[in-house]
Structure 1
Amino acid sequence: MSTTEAHTDLPVFDHDFVQNLHAGFDRIRAATPVQRMVTRHGLEVWVITRYDDARAALADPRLSKKNDRMQEVIQAKLPADADRREFVDGLLEHMLNMDPPDHTRLRKLVVKAFNARRVEGMRSRIEEISAGLLDAMAEESEVDLLDAFAFPLPIQVISELLGVDESRRDDFRAWTNALVDAPDDSQQAAVAMAQYLVQLIEAKRREPADDLLTGLIEATEDEDRLSEPELISMVFLLLVAGHETTVNLIGNGVLALLRNPDQWAALVADPGLVPAAVEEMLRFDGPVMHGTFRHTAEPVEYGGVQIPAGEIVWVGLASANNDPDRFAEPGRFDITRDAHGHLAFGHGIHFCLGAQLARLEGQIAVRHLVERFPNLRAAGSLDDVQWRFSTLMHGLQSFPVRPGVR
């Protein structure tokens, strides 16, 4: 029998909470290991706030990710007057929203094509893309780091990796922004993206190329292949996760570096610190606030708090990565810290398939920035930044900087 109950005063996960995300989670984590919260749609969720519990929850098979059942749970719990369009999307039938054995089958097929060799083969191209973007930045006295660098780098990389036409990359940014940030436009964006992906897959079937999408189409395991709906959903996942997280990794990470000028100076003096710096960036203010939705297939208990069956659970990655019981002085940004074990890429069977690519992009981006623009400065107040509202991603709305070319 549990002796602890989750707090019953339900904070709202809204724009104001996101603007002060870490302060809010610091208060909640200190008070309770599991906090019930209410989304802006009126959906009640249970947020796991502490590192040990979060790590265990990420690998707990009792927390199901099966999408059809998830949609049933969400629809049943939403208030009658809630706008439900955000939660109904056929593009969500991918392996991130599946349990074994379906998840196991899909992951085996995907890793046939999206593997370490293919990612490492992109290194020189990522270097080239990054250098070209910084060349353009050098011509400006002030730029938005997100528009000029943090967005175009990963979207160009994942587009080239998949074989997406260059002319459609701006469309993908608009679609992704709508899906992540703008529920009123999400259904229209989902339809537009799905229609394009159908056309793209048909084109690759007619004319195979040396790219990831062709690899996914041709991948086999014991005569099994990805079906057409599985291909569409998988490419959707790779396109969204394959650039959105890296945009935020670069933006949030450079913000942390500029807010801590001693850390920026240390990196300028020794670019060999870049790999450790990227891990600390991921821990300190990572690109994802929560693991994607899970639901309790049976009653579970974390930190002495009982969560009944049929409830929605968020695993608080941002909160767990700032748990003082796991990371000493978690609010101090320290690029020499041993940040291993952070949960920015998750844990368990759903560990991020693109972690190697994100790390590679992040390391190249940060190294190029400190080498090319050692005098980089924010163009506005570092204390007055605005965060995009999302229930999943954590990233800046904009980040004006001055390259400070000598």
Structure 2
Amino acid sequence: MSKLGTPVKLDIASEEFRMNSKEVREARDAHWYAETDWGIAVLSYEDNTHLLHSPYMGQGSAKWPRQHGVSSGQFHEWWSQNLLVLEGDDHHRIRRLVNPAFSRRKVRAMEPKFEELARELIGSWIHRGEVDFASEFASPYATRILCMMLGIDESDWHHIQELASTIGLGLGVHVGDHIASIDAAVNELTVYAEGLITEREAAPTDDLLGTLLGANREDDRSLSRQELVNIVILLIFAGIDTTRHQLSLSIDSFQKQPDQWDKLARHPYHYAERAVEEALRVNPIGRWVTREATESFQHRERWIEEGTTVHLYTLTGGTDPAEFNNPCDIDLDAERSPHFAFGGGVHHCLGHFVARTDIGVALAALAGRITNVRVGADTDWLPDSGNTGASYMPITFERRNSVE
């Protein structure tokens, strides 16, 4: 592929910045990357693929708070030590110890509970023909699943979700504006995590946290107490945010293609996994994956200096017309190249199978019960920097009486 234009400058800090805008598409047409105030933004599928697996690239999120004026405090300390940003031996050690808690077998065993919860939530509002999807389905569904998996009392879900949402502000470019509340949320979840760990140590369980603690006891390179706490905070934050926002984004995408929504309703077991992959490709919660050059190297005509932050744009890569036919459309029967929504390489998202499973269960359940979905124009979308999604999302729909 040859991009002959000049790289443009994208203002990703602007409240109006949107990854699926004409501005960004034209930037991708002009060149394989764009400039930003925080490194370069890789726009094409081909270059995203290459750089995501480059031996010269490391996880580049560690310095994100400092880039935005946050160099101390609870969030800064937690962020600098959590699995998302660690490299080398510590990353491999912690990931190896945590892996058993996310096994396919354990997640599959939870599916009936996911389905039961989805039916319960849908049943509470289906008679109305309208609902705030964000607060009455996506948030309780994602948070209560996280509670199930960690063995937390589900009655705590609302407060836990608020704390996770607050920490999520730390992934945006305006982290400094919210740092006091973010620090308070990390502090509260630290106390909460310590209490959970103490409870499980006294009374072992077979839930995700119990499995994690069991693996930790059996390994001679076990996790420290602080590493355990950091992981629990990460599980709460990432587990809730990923599912709840991706569900809202998925509904927004499918409402534009009712034929694909109806296809999912007719054949849920056949298309549920494909529905998740297509929604993640065309409208992912994480608009970019961050990496950093660990040494200077040449890529195409660009010399990338050691320490350069490189944002790999998941949405522009996943909808690149050079790689995909009808790139912005969901097509449940199409054979597509892999997307980048869960990152890649050694930093591929640890909880990807949980997210894929609970989102797939939810979409299949929703498609089977509601049709003619319309998303309200007054939906409150979060900025596209960091994780995006809807904090308020009114939808109208018709009840699906049968599936032919």
* Pairwise TM-score range, normalised by the shorter structure: 0.7 to 0.9
- The answer to whether the 8 Å contact 1:49/1:315 transfers is yes
The amino acid across from 2:275 in the alignment is A
Q: Which residue of 1 aligns with 2:119?
A: 131
Q: 1:74 to 1:233 in 2, by over 3 A?
A: closer
Q: Which residue of 1 aligns with 2:28?
A: 29
TM-score under structure 2 normalisation?
Answer: 0.87
Report the alpha carbon displacement of residue 110 of structure 1 after superposing the two structures with TM: 0.6
Question: Secondary structure, in 3 states, of the residue corresponding to 1:16?
Answer: coil
Find the partner of 1:167 among 132, 155, 167: 155
Q: What aligned pairs does 1:6-405 form with structure 2 within 5 A after superposition?
A: 7=7, 9-18=9-18, 21-38=20-37, 44-65=38-59, 70-71=62-63, 75=66, 82=69, 88-181=76-169, 183=175, 184=178, 185-220=181-216, 222-271=219-268, 272-291=270-289, 293-373=290-370, 375-378=371-374, 380-381=376-377, 385-389=379-383, 391-405=385-399
Unpaired stretches in structure 2, ≥5 consecutive residues? none
The amino acid across from 2:76 in the alignment is V
Comparing 201-210 with 384-393, greater Cα deviation is found at 384-393
Note the alpha carbon deviations across 1:207-252, whole angstroms, 9 max, x for none. 2222111211221465221111111111122222212111122111
The amino acid across from 2:29 in the alignment is A
Question: Secondary structure, in 3 states, of the residue corresponding to 1:219?
Answer: helix
Q: 1:363 to 1:74 in 2, by over 3 A?
A: closer
Partners of 1:324 and 1:379 lie apart in 2 by 26
- The answer to whether the 8 Å contact 1:89/1:190 transfers is no
Report the alpha carbon displacement of residue 117 of structure 1 after superposing the two structures with TM: 1.3
- The answer to whether the 8 Å contact 1:296/1:313 transfers is yes
- The answer to whether the 8 Å contact 1:51/1:326 transfers is yes
Note the alpha carbon deviations across 1:359-394, whole angstroms, 9 max, x for none. 211221111112122x3422634xx64421252212
The amino acid across from 2:200 in the alignment is K
TM-score under structure 1 normalisation?
Answer: 0.87
Partners of 1:104 and 1:5 lie apart in 2 by 41
Question: Secondary structure, in 3 states, of the residue corresponding to 2:282?
Answer: helix
Partners of 2:272 and 2:16 lie apart in 1 by 33
Q: Percent identity?
A: 26
Report the alpha carbon displacement of residue 158 of structure 1 after superposing the two structures with TM: 1.6
Comparing 117-126 with 222-231, greater Cα deviation is found at 222-231
C-alpha RMSD of the superposition: 2.6
Note the alpha carbon deviations across 1:228-284, whole angstroms, 9 max, x for none. 111111112222221211112211111111112232233334433332222111111
Q: 1:237 to 1:83 in 2, by over 3 A?
A: closer
Question: Secondary structure, in 3 states, of the residue corresponding to 2:125?
Answer: helix
Q: 1:59 to 1:99 in 2, by over 3 A?
A: farther
Question: Secondary structure, in 3 states, of the residue corresponding to 1:335?
Answer: coil
Report how many aligned residue pairs link the two structures.
Answer: 387
Note the alpha carbon deviations across 1:27-49, whole angstroms, 9 max, x for none. 221122222212xxxxx222111
Partners of 1:94 and 1:61 lie apart in 2 by 22
Q: Which residue of 2 aligns with 1:41?
A: none
Report the alpha carbon displacement of residue 11 of structure 1 after superposing the two structures with TM: 2.8
Unpaired stretches in structure 1, ≥5 consecutive residues? 39-43
Q: 1:145 to 1:303 in 2, by over 3 A?
A: farther
Partners of 1:23 and 1:10 lie apart in 2 by 12
- The answer to whether the 8 Å contact 2:100/2:215 transfers is yes
Partners of 1:337 and 1:281 lie apart in 2 by 13
Question: Secondary structure, in 3 states, of the residue corresponding to 2:320?
Answer: coil
Partners of 1:16 and 1:149 lie apart in 2 by 27
- The answer to whether the 8 Å contact 1:57/1:63 transfers is yes
Q: 1:136 to 1:196 in 2, by over 3 A?
A: same
